Chains A and B, each alone.
Chain A
Amino acid sequence: AQSVTQPDIHITVSEGASLELRCNYSYGATPYLFWYVQSPGQGLQLLLKYFSGDTLVQGIKGFEAEFKRSQSSFNLRKPSVHWSDAAEYFCAVGLRGSQGNLIFGKGTKLSVKP
């Protein structure tokens, strides 16, 4: 079955430390890939997306993600976390050739220690 897995439910990092949030997908072909951030009580903000081409994608707020076909992964990274990055992060995939709906992972909650 098609699925998106975010194996870490909750991650705590110190401010200034590096961050990596994991995302794996299970699909027959390479899907479109997305990372969103959601602050409490808020909507979704798109951090970055991958459709094709360069497998290292730069996003907003200093985030980047790397698509690794061999590992079916699209991990999100940030070299230095700020306290304002504390939020819920969702990985999502979209099937090529579909109408455009996304399938979301369960999310990873990021806490930042001062």
Chain B
Amino acid sequence: GAVVSQHPSRVICKSGTSVKIECRSLDFQATTMFWYRQFPKQSLMLMATSNEGSKATYEQGVEKDKFLINHASLTLSTLTVTSAHPEDSSFYICSASTQGHYGYTFGSGTRLTVV
């Protein structure tokens, strides 16, 4: 149980375009989803926390207008990287939690390359 699915696994986009990444909880209703970013050869850093039906909470230094997060249902959260630039190239990964299930289950991640 507690499976989190993330799509796409890889995406290459042109600078200035927007990219949407989906995170789904497949077998439970996730009241909270978390988005992390991992730069090459670095650790994972929490970007934002999204609660179903409310605005996301962003960590310090994360631009909320660049990284739009929507958590419209209990099984889906999306991260949209707007006006992407090469410095946004990174590995993005999500996790999900709910009452009785801590957020240690991660999706498979999305490798974004902006050219």
List residues of A whose CB falls within 8 A of some B CB: 32, 34, 41-44, 46, 49, 51, 90, 92, 94, 99-107
Contact = CB atoms under 8 A, between A and B. Distances in A.
Contacts of B95: 100-102
B43 interface: yes
A93 B92 CA distance: 19
B85 interface: no
A107 B43 contact: yes
- Chain A to chain B: the 4 pairs with minimum beta-carbon distance, closest first: A100-B103, A100-B97, A43-B109, A43-B108
Interface of B: 32, 34, 42-46, 49, 51, 93, 95, 97, 101-109, 111
Given A41-B111, A44-B93, A107-B43, A102 B49 contact: no
Contact of B102 (A42, A43, A44, A100): A100
B60 to A, nearest CB: 13
B46 A106 contact: no
A14 to B, nearest CB: 24
Contacts of B34: 99-102
